[in-house]
Amino acid sequence: MNVSLLCDWFQDWGNAIKNGLGQTGLIIMLVVLGSLALLITWNILKASLGKTKVKILWGQIVLLIIIILFLAWFFTLV
C-alpha cells in the first residue's frame, strides 16, 4: 500500500470530521479527549503509587496512547 495514499485517506477523513463538527466541535472534542487522557493518567499513577508492588496496567496504557494519538491528530485539524 502506498504511504501517500494512506496519508491522503487520513487527510480526507480529517476534513470530513472538521466539516461535520466544525471548529467549535473540534475544540470540544479536544477538551473531552484531553480530560479523558488526564483521568487515565491519574488512574495509572494512583494505582501504581498506592501499592508497594508496582502493577502495570497495560490496557490503560494502550488506551492512553490511542487517545494521545487522536489528540495530536485533532490538534493538526484545528
Q: What is the pLDDT of residue 35?
A: 93
Between these two residues, 2 and 59, which has the higher pLDDT value?
59
Q: Pick the more confident residue, 6 or 69.
A: 69
0.85 exceeded by the pTM? Answer: no
What is the pLDDT at residue 3? 66
> Rounded CA gap, 37 and 23, in Å?
21
- What's the length of the chain? 78
∠ CA 24-61-40, nearest 5°, is: 50
pLDDT tens, residue by residue, 17-64? 888 888 888 888 889 999 999 999 998 888 877 766 767 778 888 999
Cα–Cα distance list, 52 to 24, 46, 58 (Å):
44, 12, 18
Give the count of beta carbons closer than 10 Å to the beta carbon of residue 58. 7
Which run of H or E residues covers position 76? helix 58-77
